[in-house]
Amino acid sequence: MNQARFTLRADGDRLRGGLLRDLDARDVFAAEPRRTFRWHRGQRHYPGRYWSATTGGFVGYESRLELAALLLEDFAERVVRIASQPFELIADRDGVQRSYVPDYMIEHRDQRFTVIEVKPRRRLEDPEIAGALEWAGEIIQSRGWGYRIVTEPDATLLSNIRFLAGYRRAWLFPPGAVEVAAACAAEARTLGEAFRLTGAAVTDLPCGRAVVLHLLWSHAIHCDLTSGLANDTAVEAP
């Protein structure tokens, strides 16, 4: 474990490496994605770039499942930074040198770090894949970072967060309207009531609805996101 190494992509295509135990997480977030994203006709996956409210910039993904995981991390209140394809891990496994690039690394509000691997649930049934992820997880955790394997999320939760992500860009909402919406939502018992109160206060129902949904994205108010959102969905202040 102590001899595990890493490479980072710094300053464009230049690679920098060393012992994993010496890798500073701050350097990971300053680096470019270790693996280049590719697009070509007929490819089986759907890579792209997602504008993250957490980072204030684009974060790459290589599949629809990675995009789903990225949405959930972008929504998570505890997350302050996200890096895609953060570094390459190089270490011995069963007498053979192996290489591994995880999907994401996140920094938590309390300055902890977690490395995330995204895999379809069915692929975890493959002993070779399960063994490789266990090997990588042990090495990464020995560095003092968390390691988490993410599979398909709850469909309703993902649908709700994907919908709320349309309201994630804070600069689109005037601070005055946000303050009014927060005050109205604090008096509301349901989402529909928050829409009506805010719409009346700003004299624009569609605008009031949009600001309330932005409050949900930004955790200024809460509701149960494991059930479909509706006018009778209960809301509460944090």
How many CB atoms within 10 Å of residue 138? 13
| Integer Cα distance of 209 and 174 in angstroms | 14
Q: What is the pTM of this model?
A: 0.93
Tokens of 66: 């990675």
CATH class of the domain whose range is 5-150:
alpha beta
Tokens of 170: 């804070």
Of 23-37, 108-122, 140-154, minimum mean pLDDT range: 23-37
Residues of the chain with CATH 3.40.1350.10: 5-150
- Tell whether the model's pLDDT for residue 1 goes beyond 70: no
Encoded amino acid at 194, one letter: A
pLDDT value of position 154: 97
| φ/ψ (deg, to 5) at 101 | -120, 110
Distance of CA 123 to the CA centre of its chain: 21
pLDDT value of position 95: 84
Q: What's the rounded mean pLDDT across residues 99-114? A: 97
Long-range contacts of 151-156 (CB under 8 A, 24+ apart): 151/65, 151/118, 151/119, 151/120, 151/121, 151/124, 152/65, 152/68, 152/120, 152/121, 153/68, 153/69, 153/72, 154/226, 156/225, 156/226, 156/227, 156/228
pLDDT value of position 39: 62
| Integer Cα distance of 24 and 95 in angstroms | 27
Q: Is 86 exposed, middle or buried (0-12, 13-18, 19+ CB in 10 A)?
A: buried
pLDDT averaged over the chain?
94
Do 168 and 77 touch, CB atoms closer than 8 A? no
pLDDT one-digit tens code per residue, 130-144: 999 999 999 999 999
| Integer Cα distance of 74 and 220 in angstroms | 15
